[in-house]
Amino acid sequence: MNKVMNKVMRKKSLFVIGPHHYCHSTATIIEGLNKLDEIKVFSNSNHNYCKQSLTNLSTQIELANMVNYVMLVHSALEPKYMETIGPLINEMRGKIHIFLDGSDFVKYEEDPANYALYIKREMIDKSNIPSNVESLIFAAERRHFTKPNTSHRSLWQNKTDDLVCIMSACEKRPWRFGIMTSLKDAFARDETVFVGECREGDTLETVDTGERHFSGYFNKLLNSRISVDSYGCGEARQTGRFWESLANGCLVMYQPIEPYVWNNSYIDEEDFVVYNDLDELVDKAKYYMSNSEEARKIADRGFTKLLQHHTTTARATEFLSLVDKYL
């Protein structure tokens, strides 16, 4: 504990009360903070890139009372963590500065008035919200870049397939059945098109991400010029696949982001392509498959915007600015 205390004393520090599973919002911020190395991050959990995790409750409480800032993650409040994380949360109630709400829904998971800073994953209208609520969308983690430090031109030149649509459809995402069926029907005989789930290759052990993240999944994104994506569960617009596709140089075809408001958002036919219905999806897919240079230019601008504004380092920089503003 003395070594940990010394680390706390040397620079500003943050204690994250987080879940024992992957959370994209949490991983985005912590990975970025690790890269910046301007603030020391501690947690009760060893997930989501946290390098300094503590398992003993009394030690967690002692350290959480020593750091500059305490942040509670929404998914740490899940009922399954009542016994394991609940005591820490109960002990720190009233002493938590930041709430990170990475849920799929518009509603607030907690009352923003109980925190100095309340961070939502996405927001629809920034003009009619509590004064301490801000948004931080997901970003591309380092592991998303299958070939890091590679130019977009080089990524594009080495792509061999036209289109990929890797997603799962279920009762929570019923709209995806139509998307996948439409693409399968339209491109049934095209061997350069893949539609379905991909569980090929080895799982990636960099961070516990769930079952989607196999090496074959990222290789298909890397090898494809176009990636078709759609909304996930709940009301929020963005998915992890949106950023994973961009990080691998794909032209992303996606449903409308509006009415949600993203900082440095993507613009239709400028740095990604929007489809509003199934007919438009198929028509635009065929168009950009036949007009590769136009597709490349849009994909290149999307990749450039990603590197400029949507890495975890960029998001962590935004996070620190918000901390300075509100705390």
Helix 292-309 / helix 278-290 crossing angle, nearest 10 deg: 100
Q: Which residues of 236-257 are buried (b: 16+ CB within 10 A; e: fewer)?
A: bbbbbbbbbbbbbbbbbbbbeb
Mean pLDDT split into 10-residue runs, the chain, 327 residues: 57 94 94 95 93 92 96 97 96 97 92 97 84 95 94 98 89 85 95 84 53 77 97 82 97 93 93 97 98 98 98 98 97
Residue 32: how many other CB atoms lie within 10 Å: 23
Residue 7 three-state SS: helix
> Matching CATH topology for 2-139+312-326 and 142-309?
yes
Q: What is the pLDDT of residue 201?
A: 57
Are the C-beta atoms of 55 and 26 separated by less than 8 Å? Answer: no
Residue 146: how many other CB atoms lie within 10 Å: 19
Q: What is the pLDDT of residue 291?
A: 98
Q: What is the pLDDT of residue 2?
A: 56
For domain 142-309, say whether CATH 1.10.510.10 is its number. Answer: no
Q: What is the pLDDT of residue 211?
A: 47
Spatial CB neighbours of 220, under 8 Å, sequence gap ≥ 6: 161, 164, 166, 194, 198
For domain 2-139+312-326, say whether CATH 3.40.50 is its number. Answer: yes
Domain residue spans in the chain? 2-139+312-326, 142-309
Q: What is the pLDDT of residue 106?
A: 85
Q: What is the pLDDT of residue 216?
A: 85
174, two tokens: 């019923």
Q: What is the pLDDT of residue 203?
A: 54
Residue 297 three-state SS: helix
